[in-house]
Amino acid sequence: MAAISRDEVAHLARLARIEMSSDELDHLASELDQILHAVDRVQEAAKDDVPPTSHPLPLKNVTRPDVVVPSLSPEDALSGAPAADEQRFKVPQILGDAE
């Protein structure tokens, strides 16, 4: 017996405001039926002693310690800049008047 009927597919299409031809309804009912049977097979394999997971392998977030290390001084960072102002890169204005 089919898990989903053609009438149920037509009802869902109406709810979703999707216009479907008779051939499309028949085809989609068959496809959805196959999908639901595949889901049933997966549920049969999922036993109570197997905990639900989102991934088959254990996930581990790899991080490094946050260590403060010396970096460039503002003068060194700006040393190659064509223009600087108040320890910042100075670039040409591209949007209207600055306020």
Q: pLDDT value at position 2?
A: 61
Residue 9, Cβ neighbours under 10 Å: how many?
21
Angle at 60 between CA 57 and CA 63, to 5 degrees: 155
Helix (H, G, I), strand (E, B) or coil at 33: helix
Average pLDDT over residues 7-11: 93
Q: What is the pTM of this model?
A: 0.43
**Buried-exposed string 40-65: b where 16+ CB fall within 10 A, e elsewhere:** eeeeeeeeeeeeeeeeeeeeeeeeee
Q: pLDDT value at position 42?
A: 82
Rg (CA), the chain: 31
Both structure tokens of 52: 């639900």
Return the CATH number of the domain spanning residue range 6-45. Answer: 1.10.20
Instruction: Note the pLDDT tens digit of each residue in 14-65.
Output: 999 999 999 999 999 999 989 989 988 888 776 777 777 778 888 888 898 9
Q: pLDDT value at position 53?
A: 77
Domain boundary assignment for the chain = 6-45
Both structure tokens of 66: 């946050």
